[in-house]
Amino acid sequence: MAMYSRTAVANLLCASTASLARTPLAAPRLLLPAVRSLHASAATMAPRKRKVFTYENLNPHVKQAEYAVRGELAIRAEALRKTLDSDQASTLSFDKIVNCNIGNPQQLGQQPITFLRQVSSLLEYPALLDDRNRDAALKLFPADAIDRAKTMSKAIGSLGAYSHSMGIPAIRNSVAKFMEQRDGFPANPDHIFLTAGASPGVQTILQALIAHDQVGVLVPIPQYPLYTAAISLCNGRAVPYYLDEEGAWTMRADEVRRAIAEARNGGTDVRALCVINPGNPTGNVLSKADMEAIIKLCHKEGLLLMADEVYQTNVYYPKEQPWYSFKHVLCSMGGDVAKEVELVSFHSISKGMIGECGRRGGYFEVVNVDPRTIEELYKIASISLCPNVQGQVAVDIMVNPPQAGSESYDLYNTEMTHLYESLKRRAEKVAAALNQLEGVQCNRADGAMYLFPKITLPQRAIEAAEEAGKEPDAFYTLALLDATGVCTVPGSGFLQRPGTFHFRSTFLPPEDELDGFIARLSKFHKEFFDKYRG
């Protein structure tokens, strides 16, 4: 490896900035900001004696950001997994880690949707789409998967090429059509951005929105920690509003108003409201009336509505609790509200029955948003060049699956229905088992992939947690992990009303392992309570 002394590097920098200074472009007012700062630092550069990329020197907003889904519990689970792989495995009383800390269905054995993988595979290896190889391809793939891959191949070109930064136009058209059918209102493909999962979409919006350090963004408590973490990275302020646990974790407009008033009194410039529907970690599905109240509130208070709708197909009681998109409810309200409320809604391939978390695909749609803002969002997307193309392919299949009558329809439909019914059965079974446990109260999951039981811990357990320097629910979930290999997330990671304790578990373990999972959880819980009940 070539090594340069610090002085040599400093000279190099001086030389390059000096030569820049000789070019007409280099008149200081014309220099790009990055070059300007290079100029300044080269002029004042002293030889460095210390390392620079140290923890102390890091961006404080990076250090402040917390993301419990992959926090202390997940790190401990990783250490235990290593022990299980070593000759120390017999020191543990379980033989595998069950990752219920993260909604990652295929990690827990969920099989991918066949049609999606068939089209993806065909696109990966274009020789299979060559007419001369059709007979060979037909031995492995149904004709409609081949035809679909061919159509997509024409629209995409090579999977190995950068695409349009907002995503492949034909796929954005598919998304727009899907939303039009879903919502009954027009969707403009030029207002749709394909993303590598919902997470980068949320981050892009927050990055553009948080113009200064007093900008506040309302986040539900409990929340999915992407929100507080991303707000922290952008140096904004998370403004908490509490969900109503006794009301099946619904959202109350009055509580949001309280949070806005309190934040504005404290000098926070509240600009957006995040809503997760169906809820993570709560499993709540909002009623249309509550959604209308929230939209009216956004109109009155001048708030951007950020609607996280990644669990829109994980809705288990659609007759009792139908799910509506915010776009549908907003457009249905008509009048000024429909024309004026700014909405960004997010969707993802990671959830639903698709569960393709690792492929990283998703999109967001902007509604009633200033065209110049959309240009700036396009610029941000361009800085990352494009979302990964296979993720975009999966978005296309999610929003435009095989239709009734096509060769792949029956299999597709069977797989989706089977997964959906299974998720619902698992949600019910785990919730019922949790409600049997001493001190545990668990709301039904109307949607999403999680249960978020409230746990009333014995006083002695709370004191033991304090002594160990842990939040009581973190203390409980760490003990659960050590005793059973079941990895969950403490409620403190999602935030919760002070003095209450919860934990979040997915209900994703496979059905044939669920009895064992519940038995281990229940046995641990009883032993924990026996130990600390006092």
Asked if 104 is part of the footprint of ligand DCS (rule: CB under 6 A), the reply reads yes
What is the spatial order of strands in the sheet that 237-242 belongs to?
Answer: 192-195, 362-367, 343-348, 304-308, 269-276, 215-221, 237-242
Q: CB of residue 207 vs ligand DCS: minimum separation in angstroms? A: 15
Complex with ligand DCS: residue 324 or 532, whichever CB lies closer: 324
Complex with ligand DCS: residue 408 or 506, whichever CB lies closer: 506
Asked if 199 is part of the footprint of ligand DCS (rule: CB under 6 A), the reply reads yes
Report the b/e string of 483-497 with b at 16+ CB within 10 A: bbbbbbbbbbbbbbe
E-strand stretches of 148-257? 192-195, 215-221, 237-242
Residue 343: what residue type?
L
Q: Do the strands 215-221 and 269-276 form a parallel or antiparallel pair, or are they unpaired?
A: parallel
Asked if 99 is part of the footprint of ligand DCS (rule: CB under 6 A), the reply reads no
Q: CB of residue 82 vs ligand DCS: minimum separation in angstroms? A: 22
Of 98-106, 175-183, 316-324, 427-435, the segment contacting ligand DCS by CB under 6 A is 98-106
| Cα–Cα distance, 387 to 160 (Å, whole number) | 12
Within residues 205-264, the interface with ligand DCS by CB under 6 A covers 224, 226
Residue span 477-496 as binding mask against ligand DCS, x where in contact by CB under 6 A, dash where not: --------------------
Nearest to 447 by CA among 431, 469, 424, 467: 424
Q: Quick one: 4 exposed, middle or buried, by C-beta within 10 A (0-12, 13-18, 19+)?
A: exposed
Report the b/e string of 455-470 with b at 16+ CB within 10 A: bebbeebbebbeeeeb
Complex with ligand DCS: residue 122 or 226, whichever CB lies closer: 226
Q: CB of residue 284 vs ligand DCS: minimum separation in angstroms? A: 12
Within residues 34-63, the interface with ligand DCS by CB under 6 A covers none
Q: CB of residue 327 vs ligand DCS: minimum separation in angstroms? A: 17
Asked if 362 is part of the footprint of ligand DCS (rule: CB under 6 A), the reply reads yes
Of 197-205, 231-239, 390-398, 435-443, the segment contacting ligand DCS by CB under 6 A is 197-205
Q: Residue 225 carries which DSSP code?
A: T
273 neighbors 300 (Cβ within 8 angstroms):
no
Asked if 283 is part of the footprint of ligand DCS (rule: CB under 6 A), the reply reads no
| Cα–Cα distance, 190 to 169 (Å, whole number) | 8
Structure tokens at 23: 């070019």
Q: Residue 111 carries which DSSP code?
A: P
Rounded to a whole number of angstroms, the distance between the first and last alpha carbons of the chain is: 64
Asked if 447 is part of the footprint of ligand DCS (rule: CB under 6 A), the reply reads no
Asked if 345 is part of the footprint of ligand DCS (rule: CB under 6 A), the reply reads no
Complex with ligand DCS: residue 118 or 203, whichever CB lies closer: 203
- The size of the interface with ligand DCS (CB under 6 A), counted in residues, is 17
Member of 263, 276, 437, 480 binding ligand DCS (CB under 6 A): 276
Asked if 325 is part of the footprint of ligand DCS (rule: CB under 6 A), the reply reads no
Residue 98's DSSP bridge partners are 486
Structure tokens at 460: 């002695």
Asked if 308 is part of the footprint of ligand DCS (rule: CB under 6 A), the reply reads yes
Binding site for ligand DCS (CB under 6 A): 69, 102-104, 197-199, 224, 226, 276, 280, 308, 310, 348, 350, 357, 362
